[in-house]
Structure 1
Amino acid sequence: MRLYGLKNCDTCRKALKSLQDIEFIDVRADGVPDAVMSQAFTHFGEALLNTRSTTWRGLSGDERARAPLELLRDHPTLMKRPLIERDEELFLGWTAATKAALGVD
């Protein structure tokens, strides 16, 4: 199981603390593999973009109009977090539904 997120993100830290045997990938330092990002975008669509983030607010209108996958490639901190990959299955956010699906209380 892999968790894509930021090391200073409180939500990612909560998820890491609750999950066992998980590999953490810092999206700022290591990025997200193109195949994983494409699969996540296919599955979650525009919900993958965090339009409430400081990074988003700092983008110009022209930048915001770019294709979401291009934006996420150039600004990985725009991704909603955490993105969890388990056995070809993806989960976005640390919600009650995600916790239930992963068997976490």
Structure 2
Amino acid sequence: NQPIKTPDSVNPQTYPAAYEADFTLYNNLVTFDPDLKIVSDLAESWETSPDGTTWTFKLRRGVKFHDGTAFDARAVAAHITRIQDPKTASPNKNLWDHITEVKAVDEATV
């Protein structure tokens, strides 16, 4: 039995139990509909390269974080890069290790 404790954070990058909360507290690039079909959320569309190694997401414009900061491709790239950085010590880093590069192509493309 594990005691229930108050989480130190709801940051899914650094607190493992918050990873599940991520899906209910935060929007994602894509999500699932009731039939478990992948549908758009923050990404309005996406494409996969013919060899399946490159994914390109077109982001919805006009989205803002709760503090009013604009959501854009730089924010997505920074989020993934931060999780992959060993200094962050994210317990979820292994879920992102297969991504070899992430870049903001323009404001709405990552």
| TM-score relative to the length of structure 1 | 0.23
Choose between structure 1 and 2 for higher RCO, CA contacts under 8 A separated by at least 6 residues: 1
Larger relative helix fraction: 1
Instruction: Indicate the structure (1 or 2) with the bigger Cα radius of gyration.
Output: 2
